Amino acid sequence: MDAGVAAILGSAVGVAGTTVAAVVAAWSTRWQVRSQAYLEHHRWRREVRQAAYSALITEAVAAEEGLRGAWTALSGAGPVHLEEAMERIRAAENLVSAARRAASTVAVEGSTAVVESADALTTALGIALSDLFSWHADSLRGAGTDTWRDRHAAHVLEARARLKDFTGSARAALDDEPCSAG
């Protein structure tokens, strides 16, 4: 082989090697950028879900406290204090409504299991609230209220159990999310 052919072959190998190295580097960079974008997207989605779940938990705790406060006011309310008890019931109604609004964000952001837990929670809060209105109406008529007192207490405990279930579902959903690109 003469020197000219060797030079041409050497140049061709050099160009091919440089081209292959450039393609591999470009592919590697593209893969890294896509992996980083994937991770950032999932991190952002997790933060959105976590905020939605936390907001519902916060609102549900406030609603439960409002329901218990209304229960206390209604339990001790004589005929002259029923108006004050109704104010507490209305305040509890606003808190339950806030929990329902927070649940609507969970309905958009959450997994099926989390959404079902959120629905069970807001349903339980709504039932406990409904008990208070019925109890108040019976109190205005002078009807017996012991049944409502016990029923409402049971429904508040049910709401607390549904809150615990929701918290567990939310935590499990957040823990199950992917944390690395594959």
Residue 8 included in any domain: no
Residue 52 included in any domain: yes
Quote the pLDDT of residue 101.
97
Quote the pLDDT of residue 181.
42
Residue 14 included in any domain: no
Structure confidence by residue, pLDDT tens digits, 41-57: 788 888 999 999 999 99
Count the helices and strands in the chain (H runs, E runs).
4, 0
Residue 75 included in any domain: yes
Quote the pLDDT of residue 64.
95
Read off the tokens for 57. 């938990």
Structure confidence by residue, pLDDT tens digits, 121-131: 999 999 999 99
The CATH number given to whatever domain includes residue 169 is: 1.20.1420
A 10 A CB-CB count for 16 gives 10
Write out the residue range of the structural domain in which residue 72 sits: 48-176
pTM to 2 decimals? Answer: 0.76
Residue 107 included in any domain: yes
- Report the C-alpha gap between 80 and 45 in whole angstroms: 52
Residue 84 included in any domain: yes
The number of folded domains in the chain is 1
Residue 115 included in any domain: yes
Residues of the chain with pLDDT under 70: 1, 77-80, 144, 177-182
Residue 35 included in any domain: no
